[in-house]
């Protein structure tokens, strides 16, 4: 013993730390202790190793670094006595995790301890291995663990079983070695061994189809019998919880049965009786009983269909839902989510209760309920449900508003029966929670407004009124400002009054006031202010009487510190002052935005993303850069390329000022581009689009200086062209291009992979009656995930009804299937259904995609089924 | 699978942490901070589940201590509540009406009990008696080793007198 270092006892150290009044004091005590422990470690002091490690664990728990103690764990584990090993293993599990290199050093000690004659030492080693082993250790020590599954003492067998679970989770290849010993554990009587054995089998089923098949064939009946015995077992004080013998065993048995019954009618059949018994006989007044019922319901929902049982299960959920215990209601909502795929009607019956849960004071329950409501909405109940949700939006918590708003918007977009309803609901949401609304939502709203020409007046008046009360809601302000810019004259003259409206008296200067407020509001961001400036420019032409005032406001921003605003106000000012003759044509009302292309664009589909862009056309051999006759036309034009462009004259360009033209550009052939190169190079320059062949962003940048020399106004072009690369990125990430213009101020560096993700359309399946085409796209920065848009075309002269497309993928892929655009496929290719999928390839670069598909539909009410296997996907997906 | 077990006091002081999936030291303190914040701020009548980063945290309060277990989406929350209760009952028997101070000064013992109850994030034993027996047997091994050591040191000290 070292007389110089006597050290404090563990108890004293804990006391000293607890006595500290401030964090600084605590740090000081800990620092002193750590210093003493380090000294002791350096002196290789054996007597205090045990105590030092205990102290270190406590210090570690407080969040201080303790890595210097790691080697001490290994030394303690390597010593002979049980007390040293016990604390050593505890320290190992606490201070280290599987990612530390040091852990490898312990493999040898573990191996020796697994073969130790003292069973408690074997137990310690198994516990440590089960809790922190890495894949390499799992491989090295699997044979030892496998052997211990047959150890004489049941307490070792159960530990070995759980250890095996860790091993097969880390190294699924080892699963087959464990199938037989694991199956042997299912016959055990000792509850600990039985529970762990069942758990091991459940995990084996997850990683190994052979294990699943084997257990299903050989052990389904045995497990059903075991469950029967447990359910009917007499009172056993050792395992009793709330009058039920071993609920843990119940739950695990039900889980394994679920794995065996899923997708197998025979196995499902074998367990029907016992499931019915559990579902009806289990006491539901205590948590333990409810845990079993909950598990039982899930098993019933997952195994092959048995109508009677499912009714039973849904009834249990109904009972749960009306329970006063929040826990029970929470799990009921959770399970109804799964039940909805099985029996949507039955879940609909509980709609009112579920809607109440959305308003619960408990955030967990609210979240579950909201998700459930979201899937419950359909065409018939959308109006009342949306009303309820929007009413609730007014009183909901701030932190819940984000989720709620997103769901409401999505419901409204998906199911809106008519445009006026859509616009009304969106305006309510914007006014209530405009700051929570995502960009693409209000972009979509603008597209809809633009298309509803009979509602322009109504909308702009409604927005004007909403603005008066909710001017702090950013998205509302943006939509309002945009609409006022476009339809401001309708606001004033009460054009297109609907019967339900009250007339408003608004003067020109009131309208300019609104835009001015938006422009000057300190809380609103740059995008909004930029939109307000554009609106002012438009109003200056529409309201000549206010032109001077507008000019003043614009001039005021000439001194803006924000480059974008400064530049725009300068340019707009010059338009107002010097270009009176073209101003009115310049600021004409926007052409109607194309809804269909906008939707496909939003869905991130490929065809719209493929278009020519400036860079591409300039790279053509004969691409000559002609100075455009009116550089102004490109002002702010971010349109994708315009279909009419090849034949268009300068006059037509004007139309594109501020224009967002979303028309789909067909995959361009070389000749097509040549044609265009002459006429609208500049237009292209600024356009958003992903070139079909090469990455063009760099060329776009090079162009900017060239342009700058052409005309003073062309600086604008440079500005917008510098923003266009970033706009490209966002547009493929499904934002509306017009808004990209406004968003894309920061010239963010373009990423070449944005452009690289272009794949040719691909015929995935073709039969005499049906053709499926896949279009692929990738999100930038996420090469593993492929967005697939499937297009279905009917090749027969008969209409397909009840059209359903299903797809399955192997384990290394993950598939997310969005709802199809319709379930009716018109005859003879007169239209198509599209459906989007998202496939994530976990082994990207190693394996390519494969997919099994099943398509069912009805021709003249006759069921037809087609199946296909697609394995010729492009390699690089 | 249970991803981790956390015990903290009403003041947010950590009393026990056990990680069954790899989290770095940094992540661990972040998780503890985040979760104790969320859970401590929840009212008494709310449900015992919190959805968190795609996982679920089941928690239950016993006197001044919060017992939390983080589980996967598809796990049975109600059963995990029973597991927590199971653990608390075993601790209670082992320490004889357990209190927070027991768990502070004998934190290593709380870990030993947990290791007899859970391995690899899965339940190991449903009988409280068996767990108690296992712990008792190992404690007595430690006692025996201590006695032996002290008798040896007595002999040595007598011999060197």
> Contact, A30 vs A17, CB < 8 A?
yes
What pLDDT digit, counting tens, does each position of A488-516 carry? 777 777 777 777 777 777 777 788 888 88
Span A403-409, average pLDDT: 83
Could you tell me if A188 lies within 8 Å of chain B, comparing CB atoms?
no
Written as six digits, the tokens of A42 are: 């350096």
Strands A800-808 and B122-123: unpaired
Q: What angle do CA A542, A502, A541 make, to 5 degrees?
A: 5
Q: From CA A535, how far away is CA A532, in angstroms rounded?
A: 5
For residue A198, the chain B residues in CB contact (below 8 A) are none
Is 70 exceeded by the pLDDT of residue A536? yes
The nearest CA of chain A is from the CA of B139 a distance in Å of 9
Higher pLDDT, A399 or A32: A32
Could you tell me if A160 lies within 8 Å of chain B, comparing CB atoms?
no
pLDDT class of A603 with cuts at 50, 70, 90: low
Query: Taking CA atoms, what residue in A is nearest to B42?
Result: A362
Q: How far is CA B123 from the centre of its chain?
A: 13
DSSP string, chain B: -EEEEEEEETT--EEEEEESS---HHHHHHHHHHHHHHHHTS-TTS-SEEEETTEEEEEEEETTEEEEEEE-TTS-HHHHHHHHHHHHHHHHHHHTS--HHHHHHTHHHHHHHHHHHEETTEE--S-HHHHHHHHHHHHHHHHHHHHHHHHHHHHHHHHT-
What 3-state class would DSSP assign to A558? helix
Could you tell me if B29 lies within 8 Å of chain A, comparing CB atoms?
yes
Q: From CA A574, how far away is CA A19, in angstroms rounded?
A: 74
DSSP string, A443-510: HHHHHHHHH-GGGHHHHHHHHHHHHHH-TT-HHHHHHHHHHHHHHHHHHHHTTT--TTPPP----HHH
What is the pLDDT, as a whole number, of residue A660? 39
For residue A333, the chain B residues in CB contact (below 8 A) are none
Collect all residues with Cβ–Cβ distance below 8 Å to A532 and sequence separation of at least 6. A481, A515, A516, A518, A519
* Contact assignment for A248 to B120 by CB distance below 8 Å: no
For residue A335, the chain B residues in CB contact (below 8 A) are none
Q: Which residue ranges form the domains of chain A, and what is each CATH number?
A: 595-665+675-713 (no CATH), 762-870 (2.60.40.1230)
What is the pLDDT, as a whole number, of residue A715? 39
What 3-state class would DSSP assign to A546? helix
Q: How many CA atoms lie within 13 A of A257 on its CB side?
A: 32
CB pairs under 8 A between A and B: 161
> Contact, A536 vs A515, CB < 8 A?
yes
DSSP letter at A610 equals B
For residue B137, the chain A residues in CB contact (below 8 A) are 120
Span B44-67, average pLDDT: 90
User: What's the domain range around B67?
Assistant: 2-160
Q: CATH number of the domain at B121, please.
A: 3.30.450.60
What are the CA-CA distances from residue A206 to residues A181, A258, B74 (Å)? 17, 12, 13
Collect all residues with Cβ–Cβ distance below 8 Å to A618 and sequence separation of at least 6. A625, A677, A681, A699, A703
* Contact assignment for B126 to A249 by CB distance below 8 Å: yes
For residue A120, the chain B residues in CB contact (below 8 A) are 137-138, 141
> Contact, B100 vs B62, CB < 8 A?
no
Sign of the Cα pseudo-torsion (A10, A16, A21, A25, in order):
negative
What is the pLDDT, as a whole number, of residue A826? 82
Written as six digits, the tokens of A488 are: 């401001």
Could you tell me if A367 lies within 8 Å of chain B, comparing CB atoms?
yes
* Contact assignment for B25 to A65 by CB distance below 8 Å: yes
* Contact assignment for A90 to B108 by CB distance below 8 Å: yes
Span A546-575, average pLDDT: 82
Higher pLDDT, A142 or A871: A142
Q: Identify from B119, B133, B149 which residue to disrupt to test chain A contact, counting A C-beta atoms within 10 A and taking the largest count.
A: B119
- Each residue of A553-588: b (16+ CB within 10 Å) or e? bbeebeebeeebbebbbbbbbebbeeeeeebeebbe
What is the pLDDT, as a whole number, of residue A736? 41
Collect all residues with Cβ–Cβ distance below 8 Å to A472 and sequence separation of at least 6. A435, A521, A523
> Based on C-alpha coordinates, what's the Rg of chain B?
19
* Partner-chain residue, chosen from B81, B119, B130, that has the shortest CB–CB distance to A130: B119
DSSP string, A150-209: T-SSHHHHHHHHHHHHHHHHH-GGGHHHHHHHHHHHTT--SHHHHHHHHHHHHHHHHH-H
Written as six digits, the tokens of B3 are: 């991803």
The nearest CA of chain A is from the CA of B111 a distance in Å of 8
Stated as kind and residue range, the H or E segment containing A853 is strand A851-859
What is the pLDDT, as a whole number, of residue B130? 92
What is the pLDDT, as a whole number, of residue B132? 92
* Contact assignment for A295 to B128 by CB distance below 8 Å: no
What is the pLDDT, as a whole number, of residue A7? 65
For residue B15, the chain A residues in CB contact (below 8 A) are 61
For residue B77, the chain A residues in CB contact (below 8 A) are 327, 330-331, 334
Average pLDDT along chain B: 90
* Partner-chain residue, chosen from B17, B119, B127, that has the shortest CB–CB distance to A131: B119
Residue A636: φ, ψ to 5°: 60, 10
* Contact assignment for B119 to A62 by CB distance below 8 Å: no
Residue B106: φ, ψ to 5°: -115, 45
Q: From CA A594, how far away is CA A659, in angstroms rounded?
A: 12
Is 60 exceeded by the pLDDT of residue A406? yes
> Contact, A278 vs A227, CB < 8 A?
yes
> Based on C-alpha coordinates, what's the Rg of chain A?
35
For residue B114, the chain A residues in CB contact (below 8 A) are none
Span A161-166, average pLDDT: 93
Q: From CA B68, how far away is CA B49, in angstroms rounded?
A: 10
What angle do the packed helices A419-433 and A456-469 form, to 10 degrees?
20
pLDDT class of A671 with cuts at 50, 70, 90: very low
Could you tell me if A794 lies within 8 Å of chain B, comparing CB atoms?
no
What is the pLDDT, as a whole number, of residue A127? 93
Q: How many residues does chain A have?
A: 877
Is 50 exceeded by the pLDDT of residue A691? no
Average pLDDT along chain A: 76
Would you tell me which residues 91-120 of chain A have a C-beta closer than 8 angstroms to some C-beta of chain B? 93-94, 97-99, 120
Would you tell me which residues 62-121 of chain B have a C-beta closer than 8 angstroms to some C-beta of chain A? 76-79, 81-83, 86, 104-105, 107-108, 111-112, 115, 119-120
Collect all residues with Cβ–Cβ distance below 8 Å to B118 and sequence separation of at least 6. B2, B5, B18, B20, B83, B124
The nearest CA of chain A is from the CA of B95 a distance in Å of 17
Could you tell me if A21 lies within 8 Å of chain B, comparing CB atoms?
no
Collect all residues with Cβ–Cβ distance below 8 Å to A531 and sequence separation of at least 6. A478, A481, A482, A485, A518, A742
Q: Identify from B79, B117, B118 which residue to disrupt to test chain A contact, counting A C-beta atoms within 10 A and taking the largest count.
A: B79
Q: How far is CA A802 from the centre of its chain?
A: 29
For residue B68, the chain A residues in CB contact (below 8 A) are none
Could you tell me if A163 lies within 8 Å of chain B, comparing CB atoms?
yes
Nearest to B123 by CA among A192, A791, A416, A286: A192
Q: From CA A609, how far away is CA A641, in angstroms rounded?
A: 11
What angle do the packed helices A508-520 and A474-493 form, to 10 degrees?
170
Span A95-107, average pLDDT: 83
Q: How far is CA A293 from the centre of its chain?
A: 31
* Contact assignment for B76 to A18 by CB distance below 8 Å: no
Q: From CA A733, how far away is CA A279, in angstroms rounded?
A: 48
What is the pLDDT, as a whole number, of residue A677? 39
Query: A310-314, A361-365, A709-713 — which is least confidently predicted?
Result: A709-713
Span A64-70, average pLDDT: 86
* Partner-chain residue, chosen from A61, A196, A363, that has the shortest CB–CB distance to B124: A196
Could you tell me if B51 lies within 8 Å of chain A, comparing CB atoms?
yes
For residue A288, the chain B residues in CB contact (below 8 A) are 82
Is 60 exceeded by the pLDDT of residue A617? no
Higher pLDDT, A626 or A457: A457
What is the pLDDT, as a whole number, of residue A602? 66
Q: From CA A851, how far away is CA A809, in angstroms rounded?
A: 5
What share of chain A in percent tops pLDDT 70? 81
Collect all residues with Cβ–Cβ distance below 8 Å to B116 and sequence separation of at least 6. B124, B125, B131, B134, B135
Could you tell me if B129 lies within 8 Å of chain A, comparing CB atoms?
yes
Q: From CA A787, how far away is CA A802, in angstroms rounded?
A: 25
pLDDT class of A243 with cuts at 50, 70, 90: confident
User: What's the domain count of chain B?
Assistant: 1
Collect all residues with Cβ–Cβ distance below 8 Å to A650 and sequence separation of at least 6. A628, A629, A630, A633
Q: From CA B17, how far away is CA A130, in angstroms rounded?
A: 16
What pLDDT digit, counting tens, does each position of A713-770 carry? 433 444 444 444 443 443 344 434 444 444 444 444 444 444 445 677 788 888 888 8
What share of residues in chain A are helix, strand, coil (percent, to 5)?
Answer: 65, 10, 30
Higher pLDDT, A389 or B95: B95
Could you tell me if B60 lies within 8 Å of chain A, comparing CB atoms?
no
What is the pLDDT, as a whole number, of residue A750? 41
* Contact assignment for B82 to A247 by CB distance below 8 Å: yes
Written as six digits, the tokens of B140 are: 């007595």
What pLDDT digit, counting tens, does each position of A653-662 carry? 333 433 434 3
* Contact assignment for B77 to A238 by CB distance below 8 Å: no
Nearest to A48 by CA among A87, A95, A14: A87
Q: From CA B89, how far away is CA B84, in angstroms rounded?
A: 9
Nearest to A411 by CA among A457, A358, A454, A467: A358
pLDDT class of A641 with cuts at 50, 70, 90: very low
What is the pLDDT, as a whole number, of residue B93? 92
* Contact assignment for A120 to B142 by CB distance below 8 Å: no
Span A282-291, average pLDDT: 87
Query: Taking CA atoms, what residue in B is nearest to A130?
Result: B120
Collect all residues with Cβ–Cβ distance below 8 Å to A630 and sequence separation of at least 6. A650, A653, A654
Collect all residues with Cβ–Cβ distance below 8 Å to A66 and sequence separation of at least 6. A34, A56, A57, A59, A60, A95
Written as six digits, the tokens of A141 are: 């020590």
């Amino acid at each position: 013993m070292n007389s110089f270092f006597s050290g404090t006892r563990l108890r004293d150290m804990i006391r000293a730390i607890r006595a500290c009044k401030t964090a600084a004091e605590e740090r000081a005590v800990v620092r002193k202790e750590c210093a003493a422990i380090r000294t002791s470690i350096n002196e290789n002091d054996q007597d205090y190793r045990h105590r030092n490690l205990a102290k270190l664990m406590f210090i570690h728990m407080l969040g201080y670094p303790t890595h210097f103690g790691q080697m001490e764990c290994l030394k303690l584990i390597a010593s002979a006595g049980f007390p040293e090993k016990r604390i050593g293993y505890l320290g190992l599990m606490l201070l280290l995790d599987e990612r530390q290199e040091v852990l490898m050093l312990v493999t040898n000690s573990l191996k020796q301890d697994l073969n130790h004659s003292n069973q408690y030492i074997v137990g310690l080693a198994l516990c440590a291995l089960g809790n922190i082993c890495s894949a390499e250790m799992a491989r090295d020590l699997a044979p030892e663990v496998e052997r211990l599954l047959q150890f004489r003492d049941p307490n070792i067998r159960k530990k070995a079983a759980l250890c095996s679970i860790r091993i097969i989770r880390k190294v699924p290849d080892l699963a087959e070695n464990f199938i037989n010993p694991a199956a042997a554990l299912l016959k055990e009587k000792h509850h600990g061994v039985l529970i762990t054995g069942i758990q091991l089998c459940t995990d084996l089923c997850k990683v190994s189809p052979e294990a699943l098949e084997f257990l299903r064939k050989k052990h389904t009946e045995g497990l059903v019998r075991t469950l029967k015995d447990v359910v009917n077992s007499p009172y056993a004080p050792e395992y009793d919880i709330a009058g039920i013998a071993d609920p843990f065993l119940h739950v695990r048995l039900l889980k394994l049965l679920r794995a065996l019954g899923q997708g197998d009618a025979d196995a499902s059949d074998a367990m029907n009786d016992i499931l019915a018994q559990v579902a009806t006989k289990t006491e539901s007044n205590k948590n333990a009983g409810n845990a079993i019922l909950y598990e039982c319901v899930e098993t019933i929902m997952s195994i092959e269909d048995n109508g009677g049982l499912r009714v039973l299960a849904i009834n249990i959920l109904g009972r749960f839902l009306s329970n006063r215990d929040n826990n029970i209601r929470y799990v009921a909502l959770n399970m109804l989510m799964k039940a909805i795929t099985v029996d949507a009607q039955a879940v609909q019956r509980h709609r009112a209760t579920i809607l109440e849960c959305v308003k619960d004071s408990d955030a967990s329950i609210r979240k579950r309920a909201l998700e459930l409501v979201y899937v419950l909405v359909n065409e018939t109940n959308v109006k009342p449900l949306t009303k309820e949700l929007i009413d609730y939006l007014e009183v909901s918590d701030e932190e819940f508003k984000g989720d709620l708003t997103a769901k409401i918007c999505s419901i409204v977009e998906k199911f809106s029966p008519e445009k006026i309803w859509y616009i009304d609901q969106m305006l309510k949401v914007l006014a209530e929670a405009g700051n929570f609304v995502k960009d693409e939502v209000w972009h979509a709203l603008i597209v809809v407004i633009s298309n509803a020409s009979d509602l322009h007046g109504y909308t702009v008046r409604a927005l004007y009124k909403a603005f008066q009360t909710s001017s702090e809601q950013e998205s509302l302000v943006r939509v309002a400002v945009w609409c006022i810019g476009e339809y401001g004259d309708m606001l004033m003259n009460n054009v297109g009054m609907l019967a339900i409206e009250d007339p408003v008296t608004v003067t020109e200067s009131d309208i300019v006031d609104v835009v001015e407020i938006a422009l000057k509001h300190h809380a609103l961001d740059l995008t909004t202010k930029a939109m307000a400036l554009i609106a002012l420019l438009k109003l200056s032409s529409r309201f000549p009487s206010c032109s001077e005032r507008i000019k003043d406001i614009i001039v005021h921003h000439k001194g803006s510190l924000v480059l974008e605003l400064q530049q725009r106000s300068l340019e707009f000012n010059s338009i107002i002052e010097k270009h009176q003759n073209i101003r009115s044509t310049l600021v004409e009302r926007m052409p109607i935005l194309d809804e269909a292309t906008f939707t496909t664009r939003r869905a991130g589909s490929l065809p719209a993303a493929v278009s020519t862009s400036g860079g591409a056309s300039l790279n053509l051999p004969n691409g000559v850069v002609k100075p455009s006759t009116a550089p102004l036309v490109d002002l702010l034009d971010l349109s994708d390329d315009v279909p009419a462009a090849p034949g268009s004259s300068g006059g037509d360009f004007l139309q594109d000022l501020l224009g967002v033209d979303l028309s789909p550009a067909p995959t361009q052939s070389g000749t097509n581009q040549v044609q265009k190169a002459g006429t609208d190079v500049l237009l292209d320059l600024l356009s958003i689009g992903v070139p079909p062949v090469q990455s063009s962003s760099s060329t776009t940048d090079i162009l900017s200086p060239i342009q700058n020399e052409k005309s003073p106004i062309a600086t604008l072009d440079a500005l917008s062209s510098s923003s266009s690369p970033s706009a490209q990125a966002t547009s493929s990430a499904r934002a509306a291009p017009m808004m990209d213009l406004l968003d894309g101020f920061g010239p963010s560096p373009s990423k070449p992979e944005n452009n690289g993700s272009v794949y040719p359309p691909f015929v995935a399946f073709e039969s005499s009656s049906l053709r499926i085409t896949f279009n692929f796209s990738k999100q930038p920065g996420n090469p593993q995930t492929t967005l697939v848009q499937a297009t279905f075309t009917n090749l027969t002269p008969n209409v397909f009804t009840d059209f359903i497309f299903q797809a399955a993928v192997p384990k290394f892929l993950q598939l997310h299937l969005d709802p199809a655009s319709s379930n009716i496929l018109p005859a003879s290719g007169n239209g198509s259904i599209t459906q989007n999928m998202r496939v994530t390839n976990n082994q990207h670069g190693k394996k390519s995609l494969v997919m099994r598909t099943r398509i069912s539909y009805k021709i003249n009410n006759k069921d037809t089924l087609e199946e296909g296997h697609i394995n010729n996907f492009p390699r690089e997906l | 699978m249970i991803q981790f077990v956390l015990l903290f006091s009403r003041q947010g002081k950590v009393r026990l942490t056990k990680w069954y999936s790899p989290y770095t030291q940094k992540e661990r303190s972040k998780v503890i901070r985040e979760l104790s914040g969320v859970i401590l701020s929840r009212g008494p009548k709310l449900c015992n589940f919190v959805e968190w980063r795609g996982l679920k945290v089941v928690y239950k309060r016993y006197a001044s201590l919060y017992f939390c277990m983080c589980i996967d989406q598809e796990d049975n929350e109600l059963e995990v509540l029973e597991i927590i209760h199971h653990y608390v009952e075993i601790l209670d028997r082992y320490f004889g009406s357990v209190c927070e101070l027991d768990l502070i000064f004998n934190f290593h013992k709380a870990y030993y009990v947990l290791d007899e109850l859970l391995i690899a994030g899965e339940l190991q034993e449903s009988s409280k008696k068996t767990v108690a027996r296992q712990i008792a047997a190992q404690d007595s091994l430690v006692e025996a080793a201590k006695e032996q050591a002290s008798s040896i040191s007595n002999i040595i000290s007598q011999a060197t007198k």
